[in-house]
Amino acid sequence: MSASELAKQLGATSLTEVAEFHGTTTQTLRRRYEENRPSFIALVLGFKAYQAHERINDHENQT
């Protein structure tokens, strides 16, 4: 499985969106995937948690 495939499996649309969120490159994330898989997973899940938090805030602000 590649870094991109795992990111998608964890809910990201692309590795690029995760990289942009963290202010880094896809190359850096791929390196993290190879060298420290738990850290890579935490980066992707952190991005997804932030997205969920933003959706909740947006919903609360609309009501």
What's the rounded mean pLDDT across residues 46-63? 79
- Tokens for 5, please give them: 């495939």
Do residues 19 and 25 lie in contact, with contact meaning Cβ atoms separated by under 8 Å? yes
Where along the chain do its domains lie? 3-62
Please count the helices (runs of H) and the strands (runs of E) in the chain: 4, 0
Between 58 and 16, the more confident residue is 16
What spatial distance separates the first Cα and last Cα of the chain, rounded to whole Å? 42
What's the rounded mean pLDDT across residues 8-34? 98
Q: What confidence tier does 13 reach under pLDDT thresholds 50, 70, 90?
A: very high
